[in-house]
Amino acid sequence: MKKVKIFLSTLVVAIFLLSAGAAKGIIIDVTIDGSDAIFLAGRTDLIIPPANQPWPGGMIRHVDPTPEEILETLPFTTAVSAGDMIRAADPAVGGISFYNGFGSPLFGPDGGVGAQTDLSGFGGISGFLSDGMGPLVGVFLDNSIPNGATPARLDFTAGGLGTDFLSLTPDLGQVFFIGDGVTSGAVFQEFIAPAGATRLALGIPDGFGFVGSPGAYDDNDGSYRIRIGINEIPTVPEPCTMLLVGAGLLGLAGFRRKFRK
């Protein structure tokens, strides 16, 4: 009976270690509003002015009041570490209206078709270039408040990186395309946090006609929704763990043969 207890204990320990190795990741359910300006990611030093006032050297707004009069909002931010792998747990859904007046037409997370987004950078956050208008995007940051020179922007047009890539490691401050989080072949795309990254922000790129300086968020009603996983894929078990599993299974099999005799 003592040997049986040892075998069973070994097996239990091995299974526990395997389970612990597979539970390191987390999944976060995020809603991204049309007003979540990706160019304001990490900018806790700014005061967003009332809707009837212009930005002092900041985002561009409509000259006349919009029906929505929506204030820009700081985008959702979550903690990450360098090397973390981020991907959608489910394809992103939802819709955002980028024109005066509530409701349709709504653009999905991949952005509207028919024109490009061709925006310059702002306050330490890069510009953004893609074939879709107003897609879901992200940016990795460190602990400092973004400011100063903007990093080089990435090109997500068909002539550049496109939007069908499998894996991407942008630099700090580089806005990158997420869209619905899957390729045209329904494969989940991976986004790797670069060296120095401590935060990931999700938001929207916008500007007048989606060209030039960032802004025009004051008529963006609607939202996207995405479940993002951070390192949620089970890790490969350590060799010692596999040895414990083997020992436990062999021991249990030996006990069963002995019991049958």
Instruction: Identify residue 189 by its one-letter amino acid code.
Output: Q
Whether omega before 205 lies within 30 degrees of 0, making that bond cis, reads: no
Torsion of CA 27, 217, 133, 197, to 10 degrees: -40
Q: Give the pLDDT band (50/70/90) at residue 8.
A: very low
* pLDDT score recorded for residue 114: 86
Locate 114 and state its tokens.
């028919």
Instruction: Determine the average pLDDT of the residues in 214-220.
Output: 96
Which of the residue ranges 5-19, 165-179, 203-217 would you say has the lowest mean pLDDT? 5-19
What 8-state DSSP symbol labels residue 8? Answer: H
* pLDDT score recorded for residue 57: 78
Residue 167 β-bridge partners: 190
Instruction: Determine the average pLDDT of the residues in 22-46.
Output: 89
CA 167 – CA 21 distance, rounded (Å):
23
In the chain, where the domains are located: 1-22+234-261, 26-233
Cα-based distances in Å from 219 to 12, 160, 253:
57, 30, 68
Contact 129, 193 (CB under 8 A): no
Q: For residue range 238-256, list pLDDT tens digits in order.
A: 455 444 445 544 443 443 4
Q: For residue range 48-90, list pLDDT tens digits in order.
A: 999 888 888 778 999 999 999 999 999 999 999 999 999 999 9
CATH fold group of domain 26-233: Jelly Rolls (2.60.120)
Helix axes 239-260, 2-21, angle to 10 degrees: 150
